[in-house]
Chains A and B, each alone.
Chain A
């Protein structure tokens, strides 16, 4: 078994009312992070978030090309996502659309950015919701811009939650 030193947990912030930003630093050069993000056999090894098994990872990595991921979650539920690549800058940036197939009316635009410093790579994934409806679905029930505020607030009241 491989022993891995965790580089730290993901941070999730909400820079604007209709955006979600996910960030993390990895102990690897950006070429390797890129490879892990764009090679179907490799994506199948991590994208499931240890919550099931990925049955489909299709990546047609060119502008206008399509991608599709399908996972069978533990418990049997199948969840699928797909989209189209809009911009590709090798080892630096991928802009792609994303549709959750359970809610096909909504579409988000994801911008994945890699920045390497001293052999370590910071990844940022900015999720830009295309419509208020989709954003609302993403946060379950119409939180509008309130999530970051709610998170700030919950920092303050965390004591009462534990």
Chain B
């Protein structure tokens, strides 16, 4: 049950470049360890180690298929990352939408208060 502090959530799991390569490869569909070894040019123990971390945080799921195990992305586990980016983007979008209103007011002032609605 022990979980390493550095890989205890999706953010940290995805921080490692090799693990992102694995996720990229899995984005196209299910893969076996053999597939991943070939695609990434890494040694099998290395791939297996990274897959274990990704499975521990739930970003990757595995199923048995005959003699091999197939790995696939679990999109919902990546949602916290997606949410963080979305929140950051939304904050700036809201900020800039409010700025639009300020700029419209400034433009009207610049045009000499033509509306005369002070």
Contacts and interface: CB of A to CB of B under 8 A. Distances in A.
Nearest to A33: B103
A150 B78 contact: yes
Contacts of A146: 11, 14-17, 20
Question: Looking at chain B's contact residues, is the secondary structure mostly helix, strand, loop, or mixed?
Answer: helix
Interface stretch (A57-65, A92-100, A103-111, A134-142): A134-142
Contact of B106 (A36, A140, A145, A156): A36
Contacts of A45: 98, 101-102
Most buried by A among B14, B17, B88, B103: B103
A10 to B, nearest CB: 4
A61 B110 CA distance: 22
A153 interface: yes
A26 interface: yes
Interface in B74-93: 74-76, 78-79, 81-82, 84-85, 88-89, 91-93
Contacts of B17: 145-146, 149
B46 interface: no
22 contacts: A4-B101, A6-B97, A7-B96, A9-B93, A10-B89, A12-B88, A12-B92, A24-B96, A27-B103, A32-B107, A42-B102, A140-B84, A146-B20, A147-B81, A149-B17, A149-B20, A150-B20, A153-B23, A153-B78, A154-B78, A154-B82, A157-B75
Interface of A: 2, 4, 6-7, 9-12, 20, 22, 24, 26-28, 32-33, 35-36, 42, 45-51, 139-147, 149-154, 156-157, 159-161
